[in-house]
Amino acid sequence: MKNKWLLAFVAFVFAPVLLACQTEDPEDLVTQTYTAQLTVEFGDRTNQKQVTVEPGDSVMDVLEDAYEIEEDAGLITVIDGVSQDPSTNTYWMYDFNGELAPKGAQEQLVQENDEIRFYLETFE
């Protein structure tokens, strides 16, 4: 009878420890991803890409993954060797879902099916 109580006690104490050591379900470890449309207009040519996005990715993250860029204090200055030109007031701008971006590229988070378009804009 003592052995049954001892066995029950040991099982009661160690069961939670064994359950805590159980590995996670592999499906829980898969990072959710989705797609967005990234377009860059280089003046005489346009390049469109379907990009894979993870939760928490910003427009800057997506652009950096797809192109070689240079930036200064969060402002994009060069995309794939094409530079803005402050002497002519020409700067890289971007639209987000068809409208002028409401936030900077580092702050704007990307969601499923978002459309991002970068282009050079000359200001008068």
pLDDT at 110 over 90: yes
Q: What is the pLDDT of residue 10?
A: 46
Pairing of strands 115-122, 34-41: parallel
Phi, psi (rounded to 5 degrees) for 105: -60, -30
Fold of 34-122: Ferric Hydroxamate Uptake Protein; Chain A, domain 1 (2.170.130)
Q: Where are the domains of the chain?
A: 34-122
pLDDT in tens, 59-90: 999 999 999 999 999 899 999 999 999 999 99
pLDDT at 4: 59
- pLDDT confidence of residue 2: 58
Alpha-carbon dihedral sign for residues 112, 97, 40, 77: negative
